[in-house]
């Protein structure tokens, strides 16, 4: 008993450590504190991220090889990640523990921890996501627990804390489009622990399903001695995975929490190396029909999503990706929607997309110049991206200086004037803000002086601005600083971005806005 108590305390220490480490990495993903820390470590440890991105991109990124550190112990001991390391799982464990403590009847707790057919849904979700990945659409970020928790922390939790305690997280308050959707989804998933303990982990988690499939061949397992078992079902009282240790153990559902061993009054349960499989359900139980429907759903999601053309010819002008991003289809095949880039962005310009880039692009990062702008001397988004959806670039490469002078700067879009809203053009009012704030040299925004007669008959000299498309990089500072605040008189669109040959701006004198050496940039 003392040994088991020590093991349980060890698990609790591990949970506190890894949960704290995750929060630490999230907090320091900030311009002020990011000093070479491996802030993407939890995402790189995620084997589902490595597996799915390898399918969509046909590439295994070096950073994602860290996932082998998780696969090996899973093959040895089972789903230890879910209950010992996963920060989102630890959160649900804690909430489930709180709810369990408030259950009046011990029998009620036992019944709540029995296996239900509903728990096979996560395997259907996993099959659907893998099927979509085979088509080139990476959607694991919707429900992968590490991606989901990162997204929730970056777009909802930290900004919300800063609302109550100004300057505690950010120098200035950050805002994120659609944050209420992400926030209420988090509250729903956490709140469902009241109905089903560890609802997300047992029912929805695709990473848990992936690890459960691997753990079905684990060498060490929970073993039940049928000669000692008296069928009291007390082993279910604190079972985290609802793995039915009181009968034929469902190995793929076991979280290796060891609670059943401690709760057994007859010492009928133990953790053994390759015990007999007579009292075990080794593989996940998913019917062929459900697996087929899952695969069909995933392929249909890919096909129907691409049919809208949102990633192709029917792209939205508002879908402006961070500098260094892959071409749109490749970007959608690599971005896991973790929103680490959104967290690290110092100007708050990066926002989680809703439907701007179609259903495939929900929660992927886009630039919203009304909220911020792309700082010319910042490349943090590429530095923290765990999957290469945003390629790491240097300041010189981004700005087209030094050894990259011949290639020119990386363009993420192009600014256009709305002369019906521009003060010098439409209101007979002097204004040179956009020209003054343009950061490139020579400036991409220039002006011509004109003298006109106002309505009252008095002459006035104005400087009317224009955009040089050959120099504009689409940084959005002009749009952000435009004094016409409801809808700026100058707005950046995705046309002319470096990453795409198709989104070029056609001019009489040739083609402007696309670098011929695009493939070299996307190394």
User: What confidence tens digit (pLDDT) does each residue in 192-218 have?
Assistant: 998 999 999 999 999 999 999 999 889
How many Å apart are CA 216 and CA 456, to the nearest integer? Answer: 84
Do 214 and 70 lie in one domain? The reply is yes
pLDDT given for residue 513 in this prediction:
45
Element (DSSP H or E) covering residue 366: strand 365-367
For residue 365, being part of any structural domain is answered with no
End-to-end CA distance of the chain, in Å? 56
- Name which residue leads in pLDDT, 7 or 390: 390
What is the pairing mode between strands 269-273 and 220-224? antiparallel
pLDDT reading at 500 higher than 60: yes
How many Å apart are CA 179 and CA 159, to the nearest integer? Answer: 10
For helices 68-77 and 206-215, angle between their N-to-C axes, nearest 10 degrees: 50
Among 225, 250, 281, residue at a domain's last position: 281
For residue 515, being part of any structural domain is answered with no
C-alpha 42: how far from chain center: 12
Total number of domains in the chain: 2
How many Å apart are CA 414 and CA 474, to the nearest integer? Answer: 5
CATH number at residue 447: 3.30.70
User: What confidence tens digit (pLDDT) does each residue in 513-522 have?
Assistant: 444 443 444 4
Of the candidates 64, 45, 79, the residue with the CA atom closest to the CA atom of residue 388? 64
For residue 476, being part of any structural domain is answered with yes
Of the candidates 157, 152, 156, the residue with the CA atom closest to the CA atom of residue 142? 152
How many Å apart are CA 146 and CA 151, to the nearest integer? Answer: 9
The domain in which residue 59 lies consists of 2-148+196-281
For helices 47-57 and 68-77, angle between their N-to-C axes, nearest 10 degrees: 120
User: What confidence tens digit (pLDDT) does each residue in 347-368 have?
Assistant: 999 999 999 999 999 999 999 9
Which residues, 6 or more positions from 117, have their beta carbon under 8 angstroms from its beta carbon? none
What's the pTM value of the predicted model, to 2 decimals?
0.92
For residue 422, being part of any structural domain is answered with yes
Query: Nearest 5°: phi and psi at 94?
Result: -65, -45
Residue pair 353/319 in contact (Cβ under 8 Å)? The answer is: yes
Q: Which two tokens stand for residue 380?
A: 């943090």
How many Å apart are CA 331 and CA 449, to the nearest integer? Answer: 43
For residue 319, being part of any structural domain is answered with no
How many Å apart are CA 349 and CA 351, to the nearest integer? Answer: 6
Residue 228, classed as helix, strand or coil, is: coil
Q: Which two tokens stand for residue 508?
A: 């009489």
User: What confidence tens digit (pLDDT) does each residue in 58-93 have?
Assistant: 888 888 888 989 999 999 999 999 999 999 999 999
**What count of other Cβ atoms lies within 10 Å of the Cβ of residue 58?**
9
pLDDT given for residue 234 in this prediction:
92
How many Å apart are CA 154 and CA 384, to the nearest integer? Answer: 13
Of the candidates 326, 362, 369, 346, the residue with the CA atom closest to the CA atom of residue 497? 326
Do 276 and 419 lie in one domain? The reply is no
User: What confidence tens digit (pLDDT) does each residue in 438-473 have?
Assistant: 999 999 999 999 999 988 889 999 999 999 999 999
Handedness of CA 390, 394, 398, 403 (dihedral sign): negative
pLDDT reading at 179 higher than 60: yes
CA distances from 146 to 151, 266, 483 (A): 9, 38, 40
Of the candidates 522, 508, 514, the residue with the CA atom closest to the CA atom of residue 494? 514
Do 277 and 422 lie in one domain? The reply is no
- For the chain, what percent of residues have pLDDT higher than 90? 73
pLDDT reading at 159 higher than 70: yes
Of 104-113, 182-191, 261-270, the range with the lowest mean pLDDT is 104-113
For residue 224, being part of any structural domain is answered with yes
Residue pair 228/261 in contact (Cβ under 8 Å)? The answer is: no
pLDDT given for residue 520 in this prediction:
44
For residue 512, being part of any structural domain is answered with no
pLDDT reading at 146 higher than 80: yes
Residue pair 270/107 in contact (Cβ under 8 Å)? The answer is: no
Average pLDDT, the chain: 90
Handedness of CA 230, 235, 236, 242 (dihedral sign): negative
How many Å apart are CA 332 and CA 136, to the nearest integer? Answer: 8
For residue 132, being part of any structural domain is answered with yes
């Amino acid at each position: 008993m003392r040994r088991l108590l020590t093991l349980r305390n060890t698990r609790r220490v591990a949970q506190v450590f890894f949960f704290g480490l995750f929060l630490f990495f999230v907090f320091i993903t900030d311009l002020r504190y990011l000093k070479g820390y491996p802030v993407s470590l939890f995402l790189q440890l995620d084997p589902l991220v490595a597996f799915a991105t390898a399918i969509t991109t046909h590439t295994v990124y070096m950073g994602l090889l860290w996932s082998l550190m998780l696969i090996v112990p899973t093959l040895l001991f089972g789903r230890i990640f879910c209950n010992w390391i996963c920060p989102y799982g630890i959160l649900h464990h804690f909430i489930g523990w709180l709810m369990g403590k408030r259950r009046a009847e011990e029998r009620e707790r036992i019944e709540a921890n029995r296996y239900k057919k509903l728990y096979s849904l996560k395997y259907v979700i996993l099959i659907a996501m893998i099927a979509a990945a085979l088509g080139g659409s990476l959607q694991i970020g919707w429900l992968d627990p590490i991606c989901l928790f990162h997204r929730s922390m970056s777009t909802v939790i930290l900004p919300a804390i800063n609302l109550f305690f100004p300057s505690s997280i950010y120098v200035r308050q950050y805002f994120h489009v659609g944050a209420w959707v992400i926030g209420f989804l988090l509250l729903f998933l956490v709140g469902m622990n009241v109905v089903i303990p560890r609802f997300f982990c047992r029912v929805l988690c695709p990473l848990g399903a992936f690890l459960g499939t691997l753990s079905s061949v684990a060498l060490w397992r929970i073993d039940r001695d049928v000669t000692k078992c008296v069928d009291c079902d007390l082993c279910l009282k604190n079972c985290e995975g609802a793995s039915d240790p009181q009968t034929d153990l469902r190995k793929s559902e076991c979280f290796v929490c060891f609670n059943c061993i401690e709760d057994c009054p007859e010492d009928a349960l133990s953790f053994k190396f390759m015990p007999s499989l007579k009292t075990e359900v080794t593989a996940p139980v998913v019917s062929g029909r459900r697996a087929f429907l899952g695969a069909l759903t995933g392929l249909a999601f890919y096909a129907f999503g691409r049919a809208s053309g949102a990633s192709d010819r029917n792209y939205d002008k508002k879908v402006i990706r961070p500098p260094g991003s892959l071409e749109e289809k490749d970007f959608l095949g690599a971005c896991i929607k973790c929103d680490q880039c959104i967290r690290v962005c110092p100007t708050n310009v990066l926002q989680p997309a809703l439907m701007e880039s179609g259903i495939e692009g929900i929660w992927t990062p886009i630039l919203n110049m009304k909220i911020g702008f792309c700082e010319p001397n910042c490349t943090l988004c590429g530095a923290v991206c765990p999957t290469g959806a945003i390629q790491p670039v240097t300041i010189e490469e981004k700005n087209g200086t030094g050894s990259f002078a011949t290639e020119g700067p990386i363009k993420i879009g192009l600014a256009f004037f709305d002369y019906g809203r521009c003060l010098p053009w439409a209101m007979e009012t002097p204004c040179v803000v956009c020209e003054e704030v343009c950061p490139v040299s020579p400036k991409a925004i220039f002006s011509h002086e004109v003298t006109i007669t106002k309505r009252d008959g008095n002459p006035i000299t104005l400087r009317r601005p224009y955009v040089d498309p050959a120099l504009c990089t689409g940084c959005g500072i002009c749009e952000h600083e435009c004094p016409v605040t409801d809808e700026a008189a100058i707005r950046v669109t995705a046309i002319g971005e470096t990453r795409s040959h198709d989104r070029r701006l056609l001019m009489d004198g040739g083609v402007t806005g696309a670098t011929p050496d695009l493939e070299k940039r996307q190394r």
